[in-house]
Amino acid sequence: MTIMVNCVEYVKLPRTLELQGILRKAMEPAPRPILLSFIVIGYNESRNLRACLTSLQEAHLEGIPYEVLYVDGGSQDDSMAIAHDCGVPRVLGGDRRRRAAENRNLGAAQARGVYIQFIDGDMTLDPAWPAAAIEYMNLHDETAVVCGRLEEANQGFIFQVAQLDWRQSEGLVDYCGGCALFRREVFEQAGGFPEDVSSGEEPYLCWRIRNDFGKKIFYLDRRMALHDLGWSGFRDYWKQYARNGSSYIEIASRCAGTKDPLWVRPCVTNAAWVSAYLAGTGFLLAGPLPVQATMLLLAAAVLLRKTLQTRSSGQPWSIAAGYALHTYFSQIPLAFGQLRWLMTKTIAPQESSS
């Protein structure tokens, strides 16, 4: 009899343990849904990537369930190994060369957060940014994107000057760059970053979000991240602004003729400035002395006006003067980039048809 009881007890014991396990599991709190997805993209960013990923780990994220994804654009250095070494649980890409838009979309397709914070591997996130951006988004359902102030990590003179291009007043803006907090639902509805443009995909996506979905883009005047431009000389400066010029005209060509002709006016303004430069150069080389003097005085007045304008925003005189020179000189590589894009679009089809 005892044996039977023991047998019964022996049979029932595993069943009892199983039921206890089920009850214990049912009583455990359900895992909190992911609120924020960090998507870091990089291509040969071994010099900066560890600092970038570390900045995410050091962000003030108390009470914010988050995940980190790294998407590699086909690096030939040890970027992917660094991502693994930093404990990134989801490392994607690396199999082939991808552009930034493709990398971000690949990461977004795997993201689970309500919000997506995109950041490039050459940036380090400000620790207070995610919580501030999420707080703003939670209070403003009409806003789909929040961006903040980028500051240059290298504080050399040219870098301090160039970073002023990113400064603007707090409030609604037309577009943001690649580092920004997106509402994932709207991002997916808009189709993600357009991959059929060679550059300028971030402003073009923002254009779609504003015009097709009636949502807003907001700029918070607080530091979002430090950025490493990585310029080593004039050649890098020229390439950057030539690429910007190509972006301007490509996106302008998409938006021209709509109620919101994004970047059409800057392209026209740039063409006007370069035409004025050519005319002015002609007068300086071949004009009479009074005309030459007038042209020089006019150029000095334009530069002084921009210097005073920049100085009024609190910049030192040296930076203000440097920014004035940069503002007007950069019109040349911008125009070069636009002209190169136009030639590619007009000459290439003719060659293919012949």
Domain ranges (residues) in the chain:
36-230, 253-342
Write phi, then psi, for 283 (nearest 5 degrees): -65, -40
Confidence (pLDDT) at 95: 87
Confidence (pLDDT) at 166: 85
Domain 36-230 in this protein, CATH class: alpha beta
Q: Supply the pTM of this predicted model.
A: 0.85
Confidence (pLDDT) at 16: 58
Confidence (pLDDT) at 131: 96
Q: How far is CA 194 from the centre of its chain?
A: 14
Nearest to 120 by CA among 135, 141, 140, 99: 99
Contact present, 207 and 260 (Cβ < 8 Å): yes
Amino acid of residue 247? S
Nearest-angstrom CA–CA distance, 167 and 282: 35
Over residues 102-122, the pLDDT tens digits come to 999 999 999 999 999 999 999
User: Which residues of the chain fall short of a pLDDT of 50?
Assistant: 1-11, 13, 26, 29
Over residues 26-48, the pLDDT tens digits come to 455 456 789 999 999 999 989 99
Structure tokens, 93: 């890409």
Confidence (pLDDT) at 19: 54
| H helical segments located in 36-128 | 49-57, 79-85, 100-110
Which is it for the CA torsion 75, 40, 207, 169, positive or negative?
negative
Nearest-angstrom CA–CA distance, 176 and 204: 10
